[in-house]
Every structure is written in C-alpha cells, then in structure tokens.
Amino acid sequence: MRVGFVTAALVAGSCLSGPAAAWFMTIHNQIGYMADQLITPQARYMIQNILEPEYQGSLGRAAAWADTVSRTTAKYSYGWHWISARDEPPDNCNLHYHRDCQKGGCVVQQIWNQTQILEGCVQRLAYGNYQPDVDCQQALKWVTHFIGDIAEPMHTSLRAFGGNTFKVMFNGTETNLHQTWDRWILYAGTNRPEGFPADYFDPYFQYLLSRIQRDEYRIPRDQWTMCNLEIRRGTYCPELWAQDSNAIVCDYAYGRYENGTDLLESGYAAEAFHIVELQLAKAAWRLAGWLNTVAAVNLRGMDADTEMDPLLNQQPN
C-alpha cells in the first residue's frame, strides 16, 4: 500500500495549488470513515439520531462540514480550528491553553464547548424527547472536525500563522509549510496527486485502519488518548492532544527544515510521512473513543457494548 517517494515525486507537483485548511477537507472525510469503523453500537445510535439524514449516519460524510462554513455562514468559527501557541519553534515549543487560546475561541476550547452541547442532546435522546436540533447537529459535526484538526501540527503554532506564510519548495513548486503538512506529504507518500475521495472510504485509509486494529504504529495506541477520554474534565484532553501535536512543530516541522531545500527531494517529506500517518490514526482513534464515551455516559440504559476493543478486529467496510 505504501508508495515510494521517487515515484510520487514525478506527479506531486501538478496539484500544488489552492487555499490552506487543517488537513485538506477530504482527508477529514477519511478520518471520519476510519472512526466510523471504531464506534460502538451506542455511539452509532447517537450519531444516526443526531446527524442530518443526508450524512447517512456517517462521521466520514459529515467530517468536512466545518471547513465548508468557516468562511461563509459561520464566519465566527474561523479561529476555532487552531490554537496559537506563542512559542519559538524550532528552539522552544510549548503550549498552554489559558495563555494561547486566542480571543474568539480556539480548537481546544471548542472541542470542550461543543461536547457539552452534544451531551445535553444525547441526554434528551436517552429520555426519548429528542427532536432534530440544529445546535445538536452542528455540535456533533464540530467535535468530529476539531478532533481531526488538533492532530495537525501546524494548527498548534502561531509562527508564520500556522506555517501559512512560511514559504517552502515542494517538488520544484513554491508552497508553504502549512500546506506541506496539510496534504503534500501525504499525497506524495501515497502517490495520490489528486488527493482522496469525499464520498467513500478510500483503500489507503482502510490500510491505516487495519494498522490501528493490529496496533502496528511506532507509538502504541494505548498511549494515543493520553487522558483516559475524561470528557467531564473540561479542556484537559484537548489540551494534551494539542501539546502532543505542538511538540512535532519543533521536533520535525521546523526542526528538520533546511533553508532553501526542496522538501520532497531532500528527504524531509519521506521522513515526515510516518509522522503524518500516525497523526491521522490518532485523530480517528481519539474521535471514535471520545464519541463512544459521550454515548456510554449519556445513554446508560441502552443494552450495548460500550468498549472499543470488540470492534478492533472487524474488517473495514
């Protein structure tokens, strides 16, 4: 499934264009499709009853919604997709929620805020008095998207506006460091110059899921949540996830950058590829675990297995 960077380099430069986003939108879709395979029956019930029918009960289909509205109908949400760590990469990376969450809200804050809204909705669902509610639908979609966003290292650093103004070369084409981590490393490493689909579970992400199920990543999956998914402890979990991503900013994103080099040809992208894969896997695992916990805590009366482990051996659809 993994494709060498020499082959990918022949085609990657053809698609270096377009605006930056935290993980390109279709990558968000694919994170959601991975999470779809890891949710419990309780969580599936919750998702199917809260999401609008057009999403067919799938986190994958709903995962990119937040990016589609951040510059249009929900401009107030634009800053919710990141946190502006005021550190000095590559020499010093550190992130503190109360210092770094920008005015108007940040990704750490909004995972917690939207989870609280979602919990109220699920409690109504448990008591049988839930009716379709836009706030509930959006809360679930915000949470789905932001747990993906927080795994993208460039969304946890203020330097160069998350790397957006840090110009770099990738396969002979000028781009920026944000887009490099957002998509180009992944596209090159998978030989996918056109990216990934939005409307079905791509085989490459099925492969990433199978590695989650077999616990084959360099860091064991029991270390990914970092906080026992304690949804009632405010911003505790999201802040740890942001700090985890922020460490990559110093350790690799800026720390391994050499001025004037082409990031594809120099080997930077090839060595970063396993980091990107791990961050994508973490995002799907945390998303599924977070929603499984929300469902388990608030749908206590349902006769359904609330653990993730029984689902780990199932094959992706």
Q: Which residues contact 243 (CB under 8 A, 6 or more apart)?
A: 94, 95, 156
Whose CA is closest to 28, among 149, 136, 135, 127? 149
pLDDT for the residue 199: 96
Peptide bond between residue 90 and the one before it cis (omega within 30 degrees of 0): yes
Tokens linked to 252: 């690799």
- Compute the average pLDDT of residues 96-103: 97
pLDDT tens for 44-80 read 999 999 999 999 999 999 999 999 999 999 999 999 9
Q: In whole numbers, what is the pLDDT of the chain averaged over residues? A: 91
DSSP 251: I
Whose CA is closest to 302, among 129, 119, 44, 50? 44
CB neighbourhood size of 138 (10 A): 20
Phi-psi region of 172 (alpha: psi -120 to 50; beta: other; left: phi over 0): left
Reduced to 3 states, what is the DSSP secondary structure of residue 294? helix
- Compute the average pLDDT of residues 199-206: 98
Whether 7 shows a pLDDT value over 50: the answer reads no
pLDDT tens for 244-271 read 999 999 999 999 999 999 999 999 999 9
DSSP 315: P
pLDDT for the residue 242: 98
Tokens linked to 82: 């990141």
Q: Which helix (H) or strand (E) element contains residue 169? A: strand 167-170
Whose CA is closest to 152, among 226, 33, 29, 241? 241
Give the C-alpha separation, 5 to 267, whole Å.
9
Q: Which helix (H) or strand (E) element contains residue 55? A: none
Q: Which residues contact 126 (CB under 8 A, 6 or more apart)?
A: 298, 299, 300, 301, 302
DSSP 153: G
pLDDT for the residue 307: 45
Tokens linked to 231: 């949804």
pLDDT tens for 166-175 read 999 999 999 9
What is the dihedral angle through the alpha carbons of 239, 242, 244, 250, rounded to the nearest 10 degrees? Answer: -130
pLDDT for the residue 21: 53
pTM of the model: 0.91
Tokens linked to 177: 């460091």
- Compute the average pLDDT of residues 118-132: 97
Distances (CA, A) of 49 to 26, 128, 133, 136: 24, 11, 10, 10
Give the C-alpha separation, 270 to 245, whole Å.
19
- Compute the average pLDDT of residues 233-240: 98
- Number of Cα atoms under 13 Å in the Cβ half of residue 176: 16
**Residue at token pair 């090159």:** 188
Q: Which domains does the chain have, with CATH numbers?
A: 5-311 (1.10.575.10)
pLDDT for the residue 208: 98
pLDDT tens for 131-182 read 999 999 999 999 999 999 999 999 999 999 999 999 999 999 999 999 999 9
pLDDT for the residue 23: 83
Whether 18 shows a pLDDT value over 70: the answer reads no
